[in-house]
Amino acid sequence: MPSWPTRSGLPPAGVITTLMITATILLWAAPRAEMDPLRLFRSLPSLLDFAGKILVMPEWEYLPRLGQKMAETVMITILATSIALAASIPLGILAARNTSPHPVVFHATRSLLSAVRALPELVWALVFVSAVGLGPLPGVMALALVTMGFMPKFFAESFEVVDPHPIEGVVAHGANWLQVRLYGYLPLAMPDCIGTTIYILDHNLRSAAILGIVGAGGIGYDMVMAVRLFDYDRLLLIALSIYFIVTLLDRASDRLRAKVT
Amino acid sequence: MAKINMCGVRKTFGNGHTALKEMDTEFQTGTFTVILGPSGAGKSTLLRLVNGLEPLTSGEITVDGIPVRGKNLKKIRGDVGMIFQQFNLIGRLNVMTNVLVGRLWNRPWLTSVLYLFGREDRAIAEKVLMRVGLAEKAWERADRLSGGQQQRVGIARALAQEPRVILADEPVASLDPVTGDNIMQILREICDRDKITMIVNLHQVDLAKRYADRVIGLNAGEIVFDGTPKLLDSSILSHIYRRNSVVKETTPDALLAYA
Amino acid sequence: MTSSDNPIPPKPFNPAPAFIAVWFAVLWASCLGLDISFTDLLTGMDDMGEYLSRYGTPDFSDLSRYLELLAQTVAIAVCGTFLAITFSILLAPTAARNLTIGPLAYRAAREILNFMRAMPDLLLALVFVAALGLGPLPGVIALGIHTAGFLGKFFAECLERVDPGVIEAMEASGAGRTQTLMYAGWPSILREAAGYSLYIMDRNIRMATVLGLVGAGGIGLALHDTLRLFEYNEAAALIIVIFVTLLAFDYISSWIRKKIS
């Protein structure tokens, strides 16, 4: 009879508790999410059937419009990320323990940021679409807003780990509050901040690809329409082009990040 | 060009450690003072107080009659340059920008946000870079330079301020002996030619003997020696470097040999 | 004195201004391409105030239904994360260079993970809803597949950082690949893996709130419907419920992550 390498021969208490908690949570969640192994199994044929429907000859005439929609997606990403970037440097300075002018400002900014990033961009996009109408504008607004919740937090964390010695070198020469931040903290945290920006650009491209689901511009709208109208010859092209462009940016950003840090 | 007065200066840190107890002294214009003392004697604290990097607990320090505190700090820091053991340069910025950091105290905030500097500031930076012999490295990133070169950038940064006082906190401790000697030569030359008041913390007794006008021995936050370097002999050194009722870690002879 | 007569060399070309100019040109082109006019945006601000006032009185009369939907949303995220962890535990060792079976298997595992990551979860949800019908199950599968890509890549990278000496010691004592993995691989990265899984869990709860937009269960559909019917007060109540839940989970998960590390 094998036993575990513990004093009692039973698995460690921590392992047992973790497993039990996980099992309880799953038992609560599975029926609510209709996670039924049997149903999963039974759905396999319909999945395969569907796969057969999707894998059809692509609709080549759709290509020009696809290119235009993908370009729109990329432009939404760049615009939203740039707007957020402009706001993130000052917000990041306010949200870092060591660069914030006052602890109250620090805590207030941190709370504001976590409030702004709590709701997913699609919820904001939904609200903005109903406010300003269909089109890329609500998409840019939603994406920029949520990014403004994430980016300053990452920047602030980079400011907080800056080596204090070179900062002292700037302070000692009579630089003022703003100059210390611009000539000390900012250049020292720059590699981290560039890495963050690239990471967020990557993340925002994925988000921009689905904003169209609620009519906020980009390829997402065509995606929904292709499924609703059973245009599977388009769906395949859309999925492939998203895969292509996301992978491209992913590879490029990995390489760029390795270069700056 | 400036006289520093210290009166009843006392510094106690938040953790209750008293780094300096009741210090009274003054530094005359254009003199080269070296401060010797064991680690933890309060040498760094002394310099940091003069620049206002640490607030005083009690007493008063004045630079040319202006007290080092509150509103005067920006003016004082514009007059007092500082050189650090670890150079404290912004590694990612190029040498020229690092030197121009010494001009920031004199720049309006709007142009400094854009990293723009005036013609005079550029001229001053170029002049001091040539003076420390680093003109040809002006556009290189500071962290690509050797230790001695980085310290020369640190000196150029302090000089770019056109200061009246330069404080150097163990400027040669991270450098090899030859480079260290070279840095001391530059500091001495600056003191002689520009009549800048120079206060230098050192661990090397021989450098103190060679370059100082005046040596202050600091031990456990108190001045235990104050005189010309000629007076430094082994009994005075052992007095400066004694460990308070703790086992002596280094005998003065060994220290001399090391120095 | 080392003073030299060498003059300052000419300033080398600084690419930063050119880079910034190009960036602004791209932004300007994007604004034109997306037909976004910032003057319109500013004049629209007045309307924005009026629009926001419509959300003034949140209507919580349907709260019990909202909470029901919220529970389903969390359940979808839990099951999706569970699925993702299972997938990635199976795939990650093959995608780790030091523990893989062979170069071909390594490439294949990496590409599979890459593909999973590249497909937006809402696109997957859309497809699975089309294949399996409305309900939370497509949402679970979509989240599971998409985040398995992230988790798998992260696990693989952690495994690659395991001290080669430890693995060598296992192999020297005659352990097989699975044994090496169970004794040297997973235990070494447990902390990091648990932290990242929690982060993914957090992210999945965020995403689960919008899965409803494509019919994949959860609270998102209710929000979509209220906005489409111009029931702003109900929408406000839903947004508040979502906001509070996400903020709460954000705090809990960052608290646990801090505890772990």
List residues in chain B touching A: CB distance below 8 A.
51, 53, 74-78, 80-82, 84, 86-93, 97, 101-102, 104-107, 109, 112-113, 115, 154, 157-158, 161
What is the residue-averaged pLDDT of chain B? Answer: 86
B126-181 pLDDT, tens digit per residue, is 999 999 998 888 888 888 999 999 999 999 999 998 999 999 999 998 899 999 99
Interface-testing mutation among A158, A173, A261, with chain B (most B C-beta atoms within 10 A): A173
Domain assignments of chain C as residue spans, ordered by start: 63-162+189-260
Work out the pLDDT band at B259, boundaries 50, 70, 90: very low
Pick C7's closest partner by Cβ from B131, B135, B182: B135
Chain C: closest CA distance from residue B252 (Å): 31
C207-231 pLDDT, tens digit per residue, is 999 888 888 888 888 888 888 888 8
Interface-testing mutation among C6, C11, C14, with chain B (most B C-beta atoms within 10 A): C6
Measured from the Cβ of residue B86, the count of other Cβ atoms closer than 10 Å reads 18
Cα distance between residue B218 and residue B39, in whole Å:
10
Chain B: closest CA distance from residue A175 (Å): 5
| Residues of chain C found within 8 Å of residue A79, distances taken between Cβ atoms | 27, 30-31, 34, 36
**Which residues make beta-bridge pairs with B82?**
B167
Q: Is B228 on the interface with C (CB under 8 A)?
A: no
Q: Is A258 on the interface with C (CB under 8 A)?
A: no
CA dihedral A75, A76, A82, A88 (to 10 degrees): -160
Chains that touch B (3 or more CB pairs under 8 A): A, C
- Please give the CATH number for the structural domain made up of A61-260: 1.10.3720.10
Cα distance between residue B4 and residue B7, in whole Å:
10
Chains that touch C (3 or more CB pairs under 8 A): A, B
C-beta separation of C207 from C249 below 8 A = no
- Longest CA pairwise span in chain A (Å): 75
Size of interface B-C (CB pairs under 8 A): 36
Cα distance between residue C141 and residue C252, in whole Å:
25
Residues B177-186: what's their mean pLDDT? 92
Pick A183's closest partner by Cβ from B51, B75, B90: B90
Chains that touch A (3 or more CB pairs under 8 A): B, C
Q: What is the pLDDT of residue C4?
A: 52
What is the model's pTM?
0.83
Q: Is A261 on the interface with B (CB under 8 A)?
A: no
Distance of alpha carbon C48 from the chain centroid: 30
Cα distance between residue B91 and residue A233, in whole Å:
55
| Residues of chain B found within 8 Å of residue C2, distances taken between Cβ atoms | 132-133, 152, 182, 185-186
Domain assignments of chain A as residue spans, ordered by start: 61-260
A72-113 pLDDT, tens digit per residue, is 999 999 999 999 999 999 999 999 988 888 899 999 999 999
C-beta separation of C142 from C128 below 8 A = yes
Cross-chain residue pair A188–B90, CB shorter than 8 Å: yes
Nearest to B90 by CA among B151, B143, B50, B147: B143
Q: Is C229 on the interface with A (CB under 8 A)?
A: no
B58-89 pLDDT, tens digit per residue, is 889 998 888 888 888 888 888 888 999 988 98
By C-alpha distance, the chain B residue nearest A184 is B90
Q: How far is CA A126 from CA A209, B230, C210, in A?
A: 15, 82, 10
| Residues of chain A found within 8 Å of residue C30, distances taken between Cβ atoms | 75-76, 78-79
Cross-chain residue pair A170–B104, CB shorter than 8 Å: yes
By C-alpha distance, the chain C residue nearest A216 is C34
Residues C241-250: what's their mean pLDDT? 89
Q: In this structure, what token pair is assigned to residue C42?
A: 């500013």
| Residues of chain C found within 8 Å of residue B131, distances taken between Cβ atoms | 3
Q: What is the pLDDT of residue A153?
A: 93
Pick C210's closest partner by Cβ from A49, A122, A137: A122
| Residues of chain A found within 8 Å of residue B107, distances taken between Cβ atoms | 179
Cross-chain residue pair A165–B97, CB shorter than 8 Å: no
Residue reference for tokens 């511009």: A217
Q: What is the pLDDT of residue B13?
A: 87
Residues C31-58: what's their mean pLDDT? 77
First to last CA, chain C: 53
**Cβ contacts of residue C256 below 8 Å, gap of 6+?**
C198
Q: What is the pLDDT of residue B215?
A: 93
Pick A165's closest partner by Cβ from B74, B76, B86: B86
Cα distance between residue B172 and residue B145, in whole Å:
16
Instruction: For chain B, give the percent of residues with pLDDT over 90.
Output: 35
* pLDDT, block means (10 residues), chain A with 261 residues: 73 84 88 78 80 77 87 92 93 91 91 89 87 87 93 92 89 86 90 89 90 87 86 84 88 82 65
Residues C45-52: what's their mean pLDDT? 75
- Please give the CATH number for the structural domain made up of C63-162+189-260: 1.10.3720.10
Cα distance between residue A45 and residue A234, in whole Å:
23
Q: In this structure, what token pair is assigned to residue B160?
A: 């770019």
Chain B: closest CA distance from residue C156 (Å): 32
| Residues of chain C found within 8 Å of residue A223, distances taken between Cβ atoms | 123, 126
B210-245 pLDDT, tens digit per residue, is 999 999 999 888 899 998 988 888 888 888 888 764
What is the residue-averaged pLDDT of chain C? Answer: 84
- Residue B248 reports pLDDT greater than 60: no
Q: What is the pLDDT of residue B247?
A: 42
Q: Is C17 on the interface with B (CB under 8 A)?
A: no
Q: Is C8 on the interface with B (CB under 8 A)?
A: yes
Q: Which helix (H) or strand (E) holds A131?
A: helix A121-132
Q: Is C19 on the interface with A (CB under 8 A)?
A: no
- Residue B185 reports pLDDT greater than 90: yes
C177-192 pLDDT, tens digit per residue, is 777 777 778 878 888 8
Cα distance between residue B42 and residue B19, in whole Å:
5
Q: What is the pLDDT of residue A1?
A: 64
Q: Is A52 on the interface with B (CB under 8 A)?
A: no
Q: How far is CA A49 from CA A179, A218, C127, C205, in A?
A: 64, 29, 12, 30
**Which residues make beta-bridge pairs with B49?**
none
**Cβ contacts of residue B251 below 8 Å, gap of 6+?**
B238
Interface-testing mutation among C30, C143, C251, with chain A (most A C-beta atoms within 10 A): C30
Which stretches of chain A are assigned E, i.e. beta strand? none
Interface-testing mutation among C24, C70, C126, C231, with chain A (most A C-beta atoms within 10 A): C126
| Residues of chain A found within 8 Å of residue B161, distances taken between Cβ atoms | 173-174
C145-179 pLDDT, tens digit per residue, is 999 999 999 999 888 888 777 777 777 776 777 77
Pick C9's closest partner by Cβ from B136, B152, B186: B136
